[in-house]
Structure 1
Amino acid sequence: MATPHIELQDKSLIAKTVLMPGDPLRAKFIAETYLKDVVQINGVRNMLGYTGTYKGRRISVMGSGMGMPSIGIYSYELFKFYDVENIIRIGSAGAYTDKLNLYDVVIAKNCWSESSYAKTMGVSGRKKLSATKKLNTKLKNTAKRLGIPMTEGTIHSSDVFYRINGDEYKDIYEKHGALCVEMESFALFANALATGKNAACILTISDSLVTHEATSAEERQNAFTKMMEIALNTKL
């Protein structure tokens, strides 16, 4: 049956693996560019979702929205009520180090956050949560096979996009080793723990807090294809 945020009645129309970009238009781009025999599985609040096939394998893609409360709702409903086993977040991130350049691909080994999401969920009081190791291993092996360089490390999941202290990222980088910042993975990893499912996060560097370089909104929607191809070509 449908949930409050996903209108699909038949859960069999959602694949066991869901790719989850923040932007629903990125989900639409992936479905139209890479998938065959596509059916739309959600349109509630314009949070677009699709199921199709890629090289003969069924796969779904659905937007998560921005921030932990949003991905927290959608990923939990997918895990809990639609029998999804794997969610791979494919998103954008801001670099905390000049060792990362625009368009570089990062895979989160774990994420550190100030958020109370995991504690409020009753999952963990920890401020650092890990991705599913076996899922990360498969994604890294795919990236190697495709010849796509990928940096693995700690990332920062933040509740705040605009910080009054713009240099605070330097302390976070020094104290927690966070290579870059995004706003969703901590909640996704918490939900995977809560439901006994698998979660991973692959990011493309969209801007740099160090060099102040940045990509455009259109580029973030359409040009971050390497992380998409890694996720799509990983057999689960």
Structure 2
Amino acid sequence: MATPHISAAAGQIAPAVLMPGDPRRADRIAALLMPEASVVSEVRGNRVHTGTVNGQPLSVMASGMGMPSLAIYATELFDVYDVQRIIRVGTAGGLSPDVAVGDVLIALGAHTDSAMIDRLIPGIHFSAVASYELIAAAVTASHDLPPLPDGRGGSVHVAPVVSRDGFYGNPPAEIEALAAHGTLGVEMEAAALYGIAASRRRQALAVCTVSDHLLDGSADLSPEQREKDFERALTLALAAAHA
């Protein structure tokens, strides 16, 4: 049952997986949601935690940075461990005046500059979109989110994001064009997740906290603000995981 990147045995990974990018954040999510969770794999230091939340099984593991890294883990989870849904819970940079640092983006779809998606169906520009059931669950859960305690807003948006291969070098003209077409955030994983899930008839969603803004440079939240903001996205991701 083990793969080159996951050493868990059959049945040790839940049908629903929460997937942040950072392995340390995965550890913190597991400790917050499932203090009694078991570590069922730790290949390359990427621990997979499995436990229950409100009686329902859940696993948490990191994707690493970028679409190639996420694609490895998502493929193995879907193909080998029969995972049914993966929910990315991460961060994004704001692209539009319509979104602010601290807001949460439920990624309806993910444009991309990556060739990974174009290879899915030769001759077709594949539309990388989220699973409706998971979007609906996250949106419903968002209605009960309290405001941020420091008055920064923390609005929830359902909108496209763009998944880029490069972290640096976002051309201003591209940012402007993406924003003009309703794209609110930039990140590095959602398009690959959506494409891989679709190719296996599985479910996927990305819920991202806006941690910085490419238009005005606003960023650098305090560690306390980052964790509080991130917990809001985590609430929505958990609702999707157990929809």
TM-score (norm 2): 0.88
The Cα offsets for residues 158-185 of structure 1, whole Å up to 9 and x where unpaired, read as 11111173553112222x4211100000
- Please name the residue that 1:2 is paired with: 2
Task: Answer whether contact 1:67 1:159 (CA < 8 A) is retained.
Answer: yes
| Unpaired runs of at least 5, structure 1 | none
Structure 2 residue 217 is the aligned partner of structure 1 residue 212: yes
Q: Are residues 77 and 42 of structure 1, via their aligned partners in 2, closer, same or farther at CA, if it must alter by over 3 Å?
A: same
- Please name the residue that 1:133 is paired with: 132
Structure 2 residue 195 is the aligned partner of structure 1 residue 196: no
Task: Answer whether contact 1:189 1:199 (CA < 8 A) is retained.
Answer: yes
Structure 2 residue 69 is the aligned partner of structure 1 residue 64: no
Whole-angstrom CA distance in 1 between matches of 2:222 and 2:73: 23
| Unpaired runs of at least 5, structure 2 | 148-154
- Please name the residue that 1:159 is paired with: 165
Task: Answer whether contact 1:16 1:85 (CA < 8 A) is retained.
Answer: yes
Whole-angstrom CA distance in 2 between matches of 1:101 and 1:178: 13
% identical aligned pairs: 35
- The size of the alignment, in residue pairs, is 234
Q: CA deviation at 1:134?
A: 1.5
The 3-state SS of whatever aligns with 1:13 is: coil
> Aligned runs of 1:109-120 on 2, under 5 Å?
109-120=108-119
- Please name the residue that 2:45 is paired with: 46
Whole-angstrom CA distance in 2 between matches of 1:25 and 1:221: 14
TM-score (norm 1): 0.91
- Let me know the Cα RMSD of the aligned residues: 2.1
Q: CA deviation at 1:85?
A: 0.4
Q: Are residues 145 and 216 of structure 1, via their aligned partners in 2, closer, same or farther at CA, if it must alter by over 3 Å?
A: closer
Q: Are residues 43 and 213 of structure 1, via their aligned partners in 2, closer, same or farther at CA, if it must alter by over 3 Å?
A: same
Question: Which deviates more, 110-119 or 192-201?
Answer: 110-119
> Aligned runs of 1:8-27 on 2, under 5 Å?
8=8, 10-27=9-26
Residue type of the alignment partner of 1:183:
M
Stretches (4+) displaced over 6 A: none
Residue type of the alignment partner of 2:86:
I
Task: Answer whether contact 1:98 1:211 (CA < 8 A) is retained.
Answer: no
